[in-house]
Structure 1
Amino acid sequence: MRRIGVLVLVLLSFFAVAPASAAPRPVTLRVLSYNIHTGIGSDGVLDLERTAGTIRAAHPDVVALQEVDVHWAERSEFRDQAHALARLLRMRVFFAPIYDLDPLTPGAPRRQYGVAILSRLPMPHTENHEITRLSTQEPNPVPAPAPGFAEAVVVARGVAVHVYATHLDYRPDPAVRAAQVADMLRIMGPGPALLLGDFNATPDAPELAPLWRKLTPAPTGPTYPAGVPAQRIDYVTFSTGIHVRSATVPATLASDHRPVVASLVVTSGYLG
């Protein structure tokens, strides 16, 4: 039933942006993935406007963000960072919380932390999926399903692309990341599709190997730490039907990570 609903929404978007006689043609997308470290730069300064400036300078059509606070804590001044960045960048936004907790004071908004997808293009369908997680909010956590795997259908000139944003487990033990990879591959539907995010593992990590049988990572250099990057742990990856024109890792200290930017060409599409 979910797929039928997506089909209807995408069809409506298609006919809104293209003539009835038009067929999907190659579409260029500029995408960015960025762990924004809740707007705190490598200098320890909270500056969400600086984060927005870094994103704006890349001129992306679609953005995947990790470590986004929404009324979460004093560290980010309890701001709704997802919608604040959307306003600053004049983009649509879908926020997918990993954690959704009661406020610290009665009557305040709920405290949320997670990932977000921003888009200049229509997003007729969005969904927050569950994958395996090891909570950082519980004293004795065990791996269990939890939300925070974001999906948005983005429509560009009649071509529907499924965009997924993720933030994988950071711990040295790869077991949870391996489970998360399996979960994501199970959830992701037929292409074209993009998987963007902080994988917390280098490309040669065994737990990422199943991804590379389905997806191709854009060719970039190290992304972490931002000052002198030594590890490639942030990715733009894409399915068949999508090709990369260029990919870069812009130098910036607006976070403890550097963003990944890629210019892609979608050469095949589908409606639904």
Structure 2
Amino acid sequence: MRRSSLTAALVAVSVGAMLGTQPALAETNGRDVQLRVATYNIHAGAGEDGRFDVARQVEAIRSLNADVIALQEVDVHWDARSEWRDLASELATALGMRVFFGPIYDSDPPADGKPRKQYGNAILSKYPILYTQNHSITRLSTQTPNPVPEPAPGFPEVVVNAKGAHVHVYGTHLDYRGDPTVRRLQVADTLKIMAERGGQDPQVLLGDFNARPDAPELAPLWTELTDTMAGKPDMTYPAKTPDRRIDYVAVSRSVRVRATQVPSTLASDHLPVVADLTVKRGR
């Protein structure tokens, strides 16, 4: 989500105490596997204060102690705002996690011999990744003049092997505009892809939906998925004084939600959402 950052000089607040000391990689109980997931819009590496600081974000993400985390607004050699760095790979390496990056935009390099400019969504996992795909959903490009809604990539899916449970995880960033038309189309595309891909396996949808839970364009999601924060007062944006919830963890009906939290940190202009889930391994 592209919004101007506050100018106050702020530092990240540790979130570890809020999440406690429970290990993310919990022991299985029969067919049950405990899985901690999270979503976080990282604002291309900049905090609520507008200062680019990858180390600050590494510590904020590490404190979530998540097994799988979806990141939005991820620059990969995109431009000077993120020092032309590969944030997807850099964050994954620092956290000791596997990564799949799904670019929304993929542009020619700024000069010969330089890497391509990419921007999009990433999924990090402590567990082995068995499958990856960067799906297309309807988008209204910010990179072309006079854009029209059309299919474009940037809806990554991974299948992780969480101690025998094959979990389909999707990362998304829905359209930010006030007009909900594109978001409505994106929701329809999302549900179609998930219906075709998931089968009987657990499914987790993570991301910045850019709409409040009661937004009409999100209503179709809640007929098929569970909003893990439904009925809770927690807000996720803006990070310093959050007054709306636009970041979500949503799960298929077979997934049990044990706990959810919105930790406090100013390492981005959004707050992360964390959910402790129980999924089944085997069938």
**What's the TM-score once normalised by structure 1's chain length?**
0.89
Question: In angstroms, what is the RMSD of aligned CA positions?
Answer: 1.4
Q: State whether residues 163 and 281 of structure 2, in contact with CA within 8 Å, keep that contact through their aligned partners in structure 1.
A: no
Determine if the alignment matches structure 1 residue 200 to structure 2 residue 210. yes
Q: Which residue of 1 aligns with 2:131?
A: 125
Q: State whether residues 170 and 206 of structure 2, in contact with CA within 8 Å, keep that contact through their aligned partners in structure 1.
A: yes
Tell me the distance in 2 between the aligned counterparts of 1:29 and 1:125: 18
Tell me the distance in 2 between the aligned counterparts of 1:24 and 1:144: 45
Range that drifts further, 182-191 or 149-158: 182-191
Q: State whether residues 241 and 268 of structure 1, in contact with CA within 8 Å, keep that contact through their aligned partners in structure 2.
A: no
Q: Offset at 1:86?
A: 0.4
Q: State whether residues 24 and 269 of structure 1, in contact with CA within 8 Å, keep that contact through their aligned partners in structure 2.
A: no
Q: Which residue of 1 aligns with 2:145?
A: 139
Q: Which residue of 2 aligns with 1:232?
A: 245
Secondary structure class of the residue paired with 2:113: coil
Tell me the distance in 2 between the aligned counterparts of 1:24 and 1:209: 35
Tell me the distance in 1 between the aligned counterparts of 2:129 and 2:268: 27
Q: State whether residues 161 and 269 of structure 1, in contact with CA within 8 Å, keep that contact through their aligned partners in structure 2.
A: no
Tell me the distance in 2 between the aligned counterparts of 1:246 and 1:263: 5
Matched-pair identity in %: 62
Q: Which residue of 1 aligns with 2:224?
A: 214
Q: State whether residues 69 and 81 of structure 1, in contact with CA within 8 Å, keep that contact through their aligned partners in structure 2.
A: yes
Q: Letter of the aligned partner of 2:181 in structure 1?
A: A
Q: State whether residues 24 and 158 of structure 1, in contact with CA within 8 Å, keep that contact through their aligned partners in structure 2.
A: no
Q: State whether residues 96 and 114 of structure 1, in contact with CA within 8 Å, keep that contact through their aligned partners in structure 2.
A: yes
Q: Which residue of 2 aligns with 1:262?
A: 275
For this pair of structures, how many residues does the alignment match? Answer: 249
Q: Which residue of 2 aligns with 1:103?
A: 109
Tell me the distance in 2 between the aligned counterparts of 1:155 and 1:214: 23
Flag as ranges the 4+ runs of structure 1 deviating above 3 A.
267-270
Q: Letter of the aligned partner of 2:259 in structure 1?
A: S
Q: Offset at 1:267?
A: 3.6
Range that drifts further, 211-220 or 246-255: 211-220
Tell me the distance in 1 between the aligned counterparts of 2:260 and 2:40: 14
Tell me the distance in 1 between the aligned counterparts of 2:282 and 2:65: 23
Q: Letter of the aligned partner of 2:223 in structure 1?
A: R
Q: Letter of the aligned partner of 1:216 in structure 2?
A: T
Tell me the distance in 1 between the aligned counterparts of 2:259 and 2:29: 26
Deviations 1:75-127 (A, max 9, x none): 00000000000011000000000000001111100000000000000101000
Q: Offset at 1:268?
A: 6.0
Secondary structure class of the residue paired with 2:129: coil
Structure 2: give runs of 5+ residues left out of the alignment.
1-27
Q: Letter of the aligned partner of 2:78 in structure 1?
A: W
Secondary structure class of the residue paired with 1:124: strand
Q: Which residue of 1 aligns with 2:13?
A: none
Deviations 1:29-73 (A, max 9, x none): 001100000010011110011111111001100010000000000
Q: Offset at 1:201?
A: 0.4
